[in-house]
């Protein structure tokens, strides 16, 4: 199927994306003579501009930063929808989205994109057109696409489609859109985008544009925030401090301290089995022995919290339930009542109560005594209140996000 989906009309030399995907721009702008193009409206110009961006990304856009590429197709489809015209470019955007997700092993979304493409081809070219038939077949069995599985990044089974979602929520799922956070909502430590497992950390030797951007001085630096969490399973100091860390997936990896003080900068009381390490902007590193792990260099990038990863996640779930504000309403941690006029725990600022009696109940019966002490640490509270999705500059410990919240 490679190169054969659409006759190539415009490109004299095939760009990478074309070679991979058989993709050529079919938007109206591209098929118009230049004089008329200038009169075309803003939407088509934007669609066309996105074509160019996608082209430039090439195979990298497919395999290395597929989410960014999917955003562009999403944007193109929205523009076509606003345009209210079902044309070949519209169908092609779905074809491209289908191929993108299937190449990344996402059969569930691949089928839906292929179905949509087939349906538009049917309307525009007719049900017996090659395009309509070809894409109906692709929807039938998306794994037949020849680039299926070149990356395993988004692996899904073909029937792993969420049921019973509102249409707009379904579109959010389909296009992998991150929901904008409601005001008063806190970071969820279970979010793998922000708190990835070891397997999803960027590899230090291959510059993943989802994580890094090249600076003016030619150095690649993180262009977003992420934080690795892992529990200390074991530790020893030979030449330097080294730890065995278990991540959220249960994967155990070595963490070696290549700081100037080789790990002695940590207070011994902090270094304990069963405690949880948080490492900002962690990368996968291949050690001389070919062992994969984390090489830790900057002391400000690490923080150890005195609780297990399991307990940290349990605390996270409590925080999600009781600290989050929705339309001015919060839930009392003592009795579970929802109200606008609750008072917050003055020690940790994270839990809310109807009155003194509810606070006592929360403290004694619902474990807030221990949690409150943990949450008084501005770094732990910072994990929740920091806006991980917004990137201005790099952060380090101590986090000062908790100061003004």
Beta-strand relationship, 302-305 and 220-222: unpaired
Is the CB of 37 or the CB of 129 nearer to Zn ion?
37
Q: Residue 391: left (phi > 0), alpha (psi -120 to 50), or beta? A: beta
| Shortest distance (Å) from residue 214 CB to Zn ion | 27
| Shortest distance (Å) from residue 277 CB to Zn ion | 24
| Shortest distance (Å) from residue 172 CB to Zn ion | 27
| Shortest distance (Å) from residue 97 CB to Zn ion | 16
The number of angstroms, rounded, from the C-alpha of 227 to the middle of its chain's C-alpha atoms is 12
326-to-75, 183, 236, 330, 375 alpha-carbon distances in Å: 29, 7, 46, 7, 21
| Shortest distance (Å) from residue 137 CB to Zn ion | 27
Is the CB of 251 or the CB of 343 nearer to Zn ion?
343
- State the virtual CA torsion across 112, 113, 119, 124 in degrees, nearest 10: 170
| Shortest distance (Å) from residue 30 CB to Zn ion | 3
| Shortest distance (Å) from residue 110 CB to Zn ion | 24
213-to-66, 194, 209, 222, 285 alpha-carbon distances in Å: 16, 17, 6, 6, 19
What residue ranges bind Zn ion (CB under 5 A)?
A: 25, 27, 29-30, 48, 51, 332, 334-335, 337, 345, 347-348, 354, 358, 372
CA distance 272 to 101: 42
Is the CB of 29 or the CB of 189 nearer to Zn ion?
29
Phi first, then psi, for residue 88 (nearest 5°) are -65, -30
Structure-token pair, residue 308: 């297990």
The SS3 of residue 5 is: coil
SS3 content of the chain, % helix, strand, coil (to 5): 40, 15, 45
Q: Give the DSSP per-residue string, 211-230.
A: TEEE-TTS-EEESS--EEEE
Is the CB of 294 or the CB of 354 nearer to Zn ion?
354
């Amino acid at each position: 199927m490679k190169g054969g989906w659409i006759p190539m009309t415009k490109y004299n030399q095939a760009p990478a994306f074309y070679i991979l995907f058989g993709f050529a721009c079919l938007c109206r702008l591209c098929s118009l003579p230049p004089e008329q193009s200038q009169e075309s409206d803003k939407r088509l110009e934007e669609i066309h501009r996105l074509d160019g961006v996608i082209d430039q990304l090439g195979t990298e856009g497919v395999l290395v930063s597929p989410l960014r590429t999917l955003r562009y197709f999403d944007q193109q489809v929205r523009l076509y929808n606003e345009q209210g015209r079902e044309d070949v470019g519209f169908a092609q955007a779905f074809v491209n989205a289908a191929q993108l997700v299937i190449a990344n092993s996402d059969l569930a979304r691949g089928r839906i994109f292929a179905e949509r493409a087939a349906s538009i081809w049917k309307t525009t070219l007719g049900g017996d057109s090659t395009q309509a038939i070809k894409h109906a077949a692709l929807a039938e069995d998306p794994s037949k696409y020849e680039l299926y599985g070149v990356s395993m990044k988004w692996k899904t089974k073909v029937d792993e489609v969420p049921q019973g979602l509102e249409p707009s929520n379904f579109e959010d799922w389909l296009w992998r859109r991150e929901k904008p956070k409601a005001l008063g909502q806190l970071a969820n430590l279970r979010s793998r985008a922000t708190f990835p497992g070891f397997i999803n950390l960027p590899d230090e030797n291959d510059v993943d544009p989802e994580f890094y951007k090249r600076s003016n001085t030619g150095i690649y630096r993180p262009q977003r925030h992420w934080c690795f969490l892992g529990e200390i399973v074991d530790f020893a100091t030979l030449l330097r401090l080294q730890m065995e860390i278990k991540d959220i997936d249960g994967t155990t990896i070595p963490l070696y301290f290549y700081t100037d003080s080789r790990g002695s900068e940590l207070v011994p009381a902090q270094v304990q089995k069963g405690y949880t390490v948080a490492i900002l902007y962690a990368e996968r590193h291949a050690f001389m022995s070919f062992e994969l792990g984390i090489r830790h260099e900057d002391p400000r990038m690490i923080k150890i919290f005195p609780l297990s990863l399991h307990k940290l996640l349990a605390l996270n779930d409590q925080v999600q339930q009781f600290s989050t504000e929705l339309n001015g309403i919060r839930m009392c941690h003592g009795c579970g009542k929802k109200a606008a006029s609750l008072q917050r725990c003055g020690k940790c600022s994270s839990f809310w109560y109807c009155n003194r009696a509810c606070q006592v109940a929360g403290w004694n019966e619902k474990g807030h005594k221990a949690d409150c002490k943990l949450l008084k640490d501005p770094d732990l509270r910072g994990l929740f209140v920091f806006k991980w999705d917004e990137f201005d500059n790099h952060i380090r410990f101590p986090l000062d996000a908790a100061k003004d919240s």
